Amino acid sequence: MKIALIGRYGEGDILPGPERVARELYKQLKKKNVDVTFIEYFFSGYNDYSFLRKIFGSKVNEDGILRLGILPLTIKLLREQFDVIHFINSQRFSLAVFFIKPLLKAKFLSTLHGLNKIEAKELRLKRKFLDVWVEKITIKKSDLLIFPSAYLIDLFMNYYSLAGKNEVIHNGISDLFFKNRISFIKKDVYNFIYFHSFNKGLDELINHYLKEVNLPLRIFAIGKDITIKSNNRNIEIINVSPMNHFSLIEFLSDKHFIIKSSFIDSFSIISVECMAMGIIPIVSENIGVKEIIDNKINGFIYNSNDKENLLLLLRDIYEGKYNLQKISLNASKTTERLSWENVSEKYIQLYKFIV
């Protein structure tokens, strides 16, 4: 069985979630001796990008990843005739592959990490049109759709007919996070983490849900170019640049909670990585990772429609109404089944099933 992973592999060691999924799955498949080829594109922003390379370029990087222009990509797929073509993250160049599907024997799988019809609203019109178009073609032409959470499936079903061709496979976690579990220690001031991606939700969290908080909160906001501030003296916001796995693990070693806003998130990888280390999640009902959280057992789920709900929850936490050491341990245990070894095995079983 020959597998082609198509998507964005990324450069460097600080990657967004969809690229991390692509890289981790590829490495696991190689480790399990699966006949797999990863094909990506000469994306703008890459060091070797040029217009001519987008059409004619061909390169193999140090990890064995093929970086191909549209013409070499088409020739490669026609020659190799893979059994499965898996679009591991949504990219516009994948349209070229969908258009030649009648000439290929492969079954098409697509992993969808977010809903462009919602997320693209924040982007300029041209990009919104292209990304939504890719999404529509992906749903129409794929033989099987894979989502990181049932919550994301429900969102898609508000806009598309999925025709029952969908599966849920949660995103995985690197073993490094399991190996660096922390012991939760009760504090007078707790350290909270907020992952700030594309300005999603931090302002709402700080200036809406936490506007009237009268408890000391120290929030470490991970992200680029963060300018959001709070007028509440009880809230200290510390800006932190994105980091690689090793730096992130060291950074997380003295943190207590990861908190998410009400902004839609299909299945936050950093949330489950934090849980693996024993950091307690506090999420709204709009976060896909809620599917592995048992409220007040291994984390907390607050009602984003009730502004006071999060404030009351934080008050109860600070007043010692929960056994946080036990909740921390439960959070870590919950994520053990999400090792990349287990997640990759689920993908392999799907490949065998669809072929």
Q: Which pLDDT score is estimated for 317?
A: 97
Q: How is the chain split into domains, by residue range?
A: 2-172+339-354, 175-337
Amino acid code (one letter) for 77: L
pTM, rounded to two decimals: 0.93
Tokens 């993908």 label which residue? 347
Q: Which pLDDT score is estimated for 197?
A: 64
pLDDT band at 200 (very low <50, low <70, confident <90, very high): low
Strand partners, 295: 299
Joined together, the tokens standing for residue 56 give 């004619």
Higher pLDDT residue, 41 or 131? Answer: 41
Same fold, 2-172+339-354 and 175-337: yes
Instruction: Say yes or no to pLDDT of 225 above 80.
Output: no
Q: Which pLDDT score is estimated for 126?
A: 54
Q: Which of 200, 249, 244 is nearest to 221 (CA)?
A: 200
Instruction: Say yes or no to pLDDT of 199 above 60.
Output: no
For residue 283, count CB atoms less than 10 angstroms from its CB and return exposed for 0-12, middle for 13-18, buried for 19 or more.
buried
pLDDT digits over 73-119, tens only?
999 999 999 999 999 999 999 999 999 999 999 999 999 999 988 77
pLDDT digits over 10-46, tens only?
998 889 899 999 999 999 999 999 999 999 999 998 9
Q: Which pLDDT score is estimated for 120?
A: 63
- What is the spatial distance between Cα 123 and Cα 131, in angstroms, rounded to a whole number? 10
Joined together, the tokens standing for residue 315 give 């008050």
Average pLDDT, the chain: 92
Tokens 């976060």 label which residue? 287
pLDDT digits over 142-194, tens only?
999 999 999 999 999 999 999 878 999 999 999 999 999 999 988 899 999 99
Return the CATH fold of 2-172+339-354: Rossmann fold (3.40.50)
Return the CATH fold of 175-337: Rossmann fold (3.40.50)
- What is the spatial distance between Cα 149 and Cα 77, in angstroms, rounded to a whole number? 30
- What is the spatial distance between Cα 314 and Cα 286, in angstroms, rounded to a whole number? 19
- What is the spatial distance between Cα 302 and Cα 298, in angstroms, rounded to a whole number? 13
- What is the spatial distance between Cα 138 and Cα 144, in angstroms, rounded to a whole number? 10
